[in-house]
C-alpha cells in the first residue's frame, strides 16, 4: 500500500498474544494501527516490533466507557478515519473454578471485559464508520472455539463467547445499510500466554488431563488480515482457525 491507500485499524488487547500478532501483521502490511490495551509498556513493545510503521499506543480499559470514547477520539484526531476494528481484548478469568464456587465479582470481570468491552468498542467503531466519508468499515470480533463448545469449568468465558456470536450477527445485520461489514474469527489453541498451560495438561470433559497441540498465533494473524483486506462487498462471516489435532471435533 502507498501512503494514499493506507488503511487505519484499531486492535484491542494489542500488548500480547493474538492482539500483538495481528497488530504486527497489519503494520507490516502497510496499515496504520492504534494499539489499545490496559498497560502502556506492552503496547510500546508491540509498536517497537515494526518501528517504521505508523502506530499509536493508547492505554485503554475496554470495560470503561470513557476510556473507549477517548481511544476512538484519538484515532479520529490522529488518522481521520477508521477502516477496521479487531475486537480482541479478553480474559479467561479464574480457571478451574466450579460453577457453585465462582465469585460474582469474577463473573462480572469476565463479562465486563469480554462482552461489555466488545460492545463498547464496536459501538464506537460503528458510529465512526457510519459518520465518516467515505462511509463504512469492518469489525472483526475475536470469538473462540468456546463460542461453540465449552471447556470444563469455564462458564463465564464460554457465556461471553457465545454472546459474542450474537453481537457479531447483530452488527453484521445493522451495518448493511452503512457499508459496515462484521465477521468473527473463532480461534482454538493459538500459542499465547493464555494457553501456555496446555503444554502441561488441560482438563478434558471426561475429567482427565491431556496435553493439547497448539498453533502459531501468526497463522491467526494472517487469517485476520485476509478478512480485513477484503472489499466491503465481501465478508467472511465466521472463520475457525485452530490447531489441527486439538480436541474440538469430537470434544466431549
Mind telling me the catalytic residues? 157
| Type and span of the H or E element at 129 | helix 117-131
Q: Which of 110, 238, 140 is nearest to 186 (CA)?
A: 238
| Cα–Cα dist 60/63, whole Å | 9
Residue with cell 494457553: 195
Give the pairing type, strands 84-87 and 137-142: parallel
Contact 123, 157 (CB under 8 A): no
- The span from the CA of 183 to the CA of 222, in Å, is 15
Cα separation, 188 vs 214, whole angstroms = 8
Question: How many angstroms separate the CA atoms of 34 and 89, rounded?
Answer: 13
Please give the Cα distance from 187 to 242 (Å, whole number).
6
| CA angle (11 as vertex; 6, 14 as ends), nearest 5 | 125
Amino acid at each position: 500500500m502507498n501512503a494514499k491507500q493506507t488503511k487505519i485499524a484499531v486492535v484491542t488487547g494489542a500488548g500480547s498474544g493474538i492482539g500483538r500478532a495481528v497488530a504486527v501483521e497489519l503494520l507490516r502490511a502497510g496499515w496504520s494501527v492504534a494499539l489499545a490495551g490496559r498497560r502502556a509498556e506492552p503496547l510500546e513493545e508491540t509498536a517497537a516490533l515494526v518501528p517504521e510503521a505508523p502506530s499509536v499506543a493508547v492505554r485503554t480499559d475496554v470495560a470503561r466507557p470513557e476510556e473507549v470514547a477517548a481511544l476512538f477520539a484519538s484515532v479520529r484526531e490522529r488518522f481521520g478515519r477508521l477502516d477496521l476494528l479487531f475486537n480482541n481484548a479478553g480474559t479467561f478469568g479464574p480457571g478451574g473454578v466450579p460453577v457453585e464456587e465462582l465469585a460474582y465479582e469474577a463473573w462480572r470481570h469476565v463479562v465486563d471485559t469480554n462482552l461489555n468491552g466488545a460492545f463498547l468498542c464496536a459501538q464506537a467503531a460503528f458510529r465512526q464508520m457510519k459518520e465518516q466519508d467515505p462511509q463504512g468499515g469492518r469489525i472483526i470480533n475475536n470469538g473462540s472455539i468456546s463460542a461453540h463448545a465449552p471447556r470444563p469449568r469455564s462458564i463465564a468465558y464460554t457465556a461471553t463467547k457465545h454472546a459474542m456470536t450474537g453481537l457479531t450477527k447483530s452488527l453484521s445485520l445493522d451495518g448493511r445499510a452503512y457499508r459496515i461489514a462484521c465477521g468473527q474469527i473463532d480461534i482454538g489453541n493459538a500459542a499465547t500466554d493464555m494457553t501456555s498451560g496446555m503444554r502441561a495438561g488441560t482438563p478434558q470433559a471426561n475429567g482427565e488431563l491431556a496435553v493439547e497441540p497448539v498453533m502459531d498465533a501468526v497463522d491467526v494473524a494472517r487469517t485476520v488480515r485476509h478478512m480485513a483486506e477484503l472489499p466491503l462487498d465481501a465478508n467472511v462471516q465466521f472463520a475457525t482457525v485452530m490447531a489441527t489435532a486439538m480436541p474440538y471435533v469430537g470434544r466431549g
